[in-house]
Amino acid sequence: MPGPGAEGIVMLNSRHTLATILVAAAAALVPASAIRASNDITDTVRQLASDGADLVIEEQALLADTAPASATPLSELEAVRAQLRSVDAQGRSVLDQLERLDIELTGAILVALDRLPTLDASEGQEPALQPPPGVVYEAAAADLLRISATPEVVTPSIDHQQHPAVSLLVVAVLALLVLGAFALGSTMRHRRTSKELAAMAWSDGLTGLANRRRLDFDLLPGSIGCDPTAVIMVDVDHFKSVNDSFGHKKGDEVLRVIGIMLANQIRFEDVVYRYGGEEFCILLPNSSTDDARQIADRILRAARQITLPDGQHVTVSVGIAASVKGDVGTAVESADHALFEAKDLGRDQMVTAAQANLVES
């Protein structure tokens, strides 16, 4: 490839010289304490992320040891449960510290490091843990290790009020951009893009499930490639009354438990998405309406086992559709309309697109 002409070389050199002078001048004004503080925060984030990844992996292993089918003797099982409670508390502590540092965290990290949700138990019984599915732990560990490897990508800048000289550096950078310092400008844009990409999560921040952005991506032509693909839409009945009666914190906890319940009812190849609010979407590749009905029936029964503080049980409404021509997006819309039909018929039930007189794609 031919190099730039003489005029281009002069322009690039002049821009580079100007960038060097301004950045050097601004850097000279930045106190050494600001640099040390920045390094200290980066090191702290690196260590917290590494510790968090270890705790996520340990918690998942301990949960496997406390599973009902475990052959661990009762005395050892109690010790494992005690260790699990300790690891769970440590994970929440790491999460609190990362949030206080204003670190951008993925939904999987938020769910995996948070306290394990429980189902309310009868008097005298220990509440049953509702751990996130394994894929959430695996995603969280991978995300935390990524942060540990490149903490500077997610670490916020030093506070400008504490270090006014840093603001001068920003002014210098803006001056370079105004003057057309292409080389420096492209570098800054690249760093910003890297940060945005690092923060871009495919998981929902509350439940750790796949989010609406991921669903929109998966619905792009050719993304799924399975025919037929069944769709299940799930909506929590009377969810507004949960928030009104018990507060949004309890409402968020209910949504997390619902998300975990859904993930535990589907097959390995199926994917659960938080569609929005209290509505969820499930894609079932290579599945028919009948396949979806079987899973939906399990979902309806499992939801009724979730107890609210007043002793009432959660119920959900379900809509089902299937794509037979590869147009999964239309199947999602049909399942959503069938869901509203289920709510109109009294909730706590499933309705298929055929029953709702909707045309499946």
* CA–CA dist 203, 104 (Å, integer): 13
Token couple for 260: 């975990």
Beta strand residue intervals within the chain, DSSP E: 118-119, 128-129, 229-236, 271-276, 279-285, 316-323, 350-352
Give the angle subtended at the CA of 281 by the CAs of 280 and 287, to the nearest 5°.
Answer: 145
Contacts 24+ apart (CB under 8 A), 182-191: 182/12, 182/15, 183/12, 183/15, 183/16, 183/19, 184/15, 184/19, 184/23
The DSSP code for 283 is E
Q: Is 278 a catalytic residue?
A: yes
Give Dmax over CA atoms of the chain in angstroms. 84
319 close to 233: Cβ distance less than 8 angstroms: yes
Please provide the DSSP assignment of 85-118 as one string: HHHHHHHHHHHHHHHHTT----HHHHHHHSPPPE
The DSSP code for 273 is E
- Active-site position among 58, 76, 123, 278: 278
The DSSP code for 203 is B
Do β-strands 229-236 and 316-323 pair in parallel, antiparallel, or remain unpaired? antiparallel
CA distances to 136, 155, 255 from 236, rounded to whole Å, are 22, 37, 8
In this structure, the number of other CB atoms found within 10 A of the CB of residue 82 comes to 10
Backbone angles phi, psi at 72, to 5 degrees: -65, 130
Residues annotated as catalytic are 278
